[in-house]
Amino acid sequence: MTTKPEALLQVEDLKMHFPIYKGLFRKQVGAVHAVDGISFEVHKGETLGLVGESGCGKSTTGRAILQLHRPNSGKVNFDGKNLVELKGEELRLMRRKMQMIFQDPYASLNPRMTVGEIIGEPLVVHGIAKGAEVQDRVAQLLELVRLNPSFASRYPHEFSGGQRQRIGIARAVALQPPFIVCDEPISALDVSIQSQVINLLQELQEQFGLTYLFIAHDLSMVRHISDRVAVMYLGVMMELADSDALYTNPLHPYTQALLSAVPIPDPILESKRKRILLEGDVPSPVNPPSGCRFRTRCPIAEKVCAEERPEFRELKPGHFVACHFAERFV
């Protein structure tokens, strides 16, 4: 028998709604349901890919886990503690164990600080090092991400996008945290640079035993780096499975449609493959559809889909899906 992997992070029924205010007295007239009751685990040492269309709540999920956005409800159990309940000094101490690599390397680095100050700041804030120790550690971190240690005295505007993202990665691993949220870390980079950054992330994972939540919309890259993949749509989880299982036998119509859009580097197979074209636009997260969120665009939707929200259930070992009719595809 195989033992179940140990969960480093457990997310239970996480909700993140952003209020909408209107009028002179700022009366709340609604809310954006950015994340609406999702549950999943991230196992120690793995990379969990989180994919979906733009605006589906992927980045908000990552920020809510790290408490950069404070969730409306739900639990985020990390290292034996519910982060949602932590405040002040308790939460600050937990931040040593969780870091984030941001999407835009041009906006995530302070232009008024040198590279050495940017990478060394976490070490100073958390009292890990001071004075010459910080400089030595910054030099080591720059070498770790394949940058010249002499770059420590330069400013972010002097670097290319790929180099800036390496600086962001060095800052994220400075405290050697066990868990890092990678929020589309390659989407703003040239294609030629993307593979270098992905290889660097994988090397650091092996070296330090890191655990990643890798948020992206490039499905082919997610398959390359992820052990398991979760699919989101309009704030809810649609499917979660091992990478190979999800890509070879997707059980949710939305996942099937997403994967049908990924090109195959074989002209014969590509010509025989059937594309699934979804009709209509993604509904507004302010007023999401009743029942199944995907029903307004789903090719197999029936009456029950509008009446009942499908349970996110384990249909096969390790393969979770939220669809009333997922058995059709097993």
* Choice between 126 and 262, residue whose per-residue pLDDT is larger: 126
Domain count, the chain: 1
- The phi, psi pair for 298, rounded to 5°, reads -85, 130
Kindly tell me the burial class for residue 102, based on how many C-beta atoms sit within 10 Å of its own C-beta (0-12, 13-18, 19 or more).
buried
Burial letters 236-266, b for 16+ CB under 10 A, else e: bbbbbbbbebbbeebbbbbbbbbbeeeeeee
Statement: residue 3 has pLDDT above 60: no
Contact 137, 122 (CB under 8 A): no
Contact 124, 134 (CB under 8 A): yes
Quick check: is 20 in a domain? no
Statement: residue 5 has pLDDT above 90: no
CA geometry: angle 297, 299, 303, nearest 5 deg: 85
Q: Look at the block and give the residue holding tokens 């600080």.
A: 113
Quick check: is 96 in a domain? no
Quick check: is 330 in a domain? yes
Quick check: is 113 in a domain? no
User: How far apart, in whole angstroms, are the C-alpha atoms of residue 273 and residue 53?
Assistant: 22
CA dihedral (62, 65, 70, 71) positive or negative: positive
pLDDT digits (tens, 9 = 90+) for 7-20: 899 999 999 999 99
User: How far apart, in whole angstroms, are the C-alpha atoms of residue 95 and residue 199?
Assistant: 25
Mean pLDDT, the chain, rounded, equals: 91
User: How far apart, in whole angstroms, are the C-alpha atoms of residue 222 and residue 246?
Assistant: 11
pLDDT digits (tens, 9 = 90+) for 70-102: 999 999 999 889 999 999 889 998 989 999 999
β-pair type (47-51, 211-215): parallel
Distances in whole angstroms, Cα of residue 95 to Cα of each of 82, 100, 179 = 13, 10, 10
* For residues 115-120, average pLDDT: 95
Band of residue 1 on the pLDDT scale cut at 50, 70, 90: very low
Quick check: is 243 in a domain? yes
Statement: residue 175 has pLDDT above 70: yes
* For residues 203-230, average pLDDT: 92
End-to-end CA distance of the chain: 23
Quick check: is 316 in a domain? yes
Band of residue 190 on the pLDDT scale cut at 50, 70, 90: confident
Structural domain boundaries enclosing 257: 237-330
Statement: residue 262 has pLDDT above 80: no
Band of residue 250 on the pLDDT scale cut at 50, 70, 90: very high
Q: Could you tell me the two tokens for 120?
A: 């060394």
Band of residue 265 on the pLDDT scale cut at 50, 70, 90: confident
Band of residue 233 on the pLDDT scale cut at 50, 70, 90: very high
Statement: residue 182 has pLDDT above 50: yes
User: How far apart, in whole angstroms, are the C-alpha atoms of residue 274 and residue 59?
Assistant: 31
Residue 247's SS3 state is: helix
User: How far apart, in whole angstroms, are the C-alpha atoms of residue 59 and residue 56?
Assistant: 9
Distances in whole angstroms, Cα of residue 287 to Cα of each of 19, 20, 37, 117 = 13, 12, 15, 44
Contact 6, 43 (CB under 8 A): yes
Band of residue 270 on the pLDDT scale cut at 50, 70, 90: low
User: How far apart, in whole angstroms, are the C-alpha atoms of residue 99 and residue 103?
Assistant: 13
Quick check: is 183 in a domain? no
pTM (two decimals): 0.91
Q: Could you tell me the two tokens for 244?
A: 């190979």
Quick check: is 147 in a domain? no
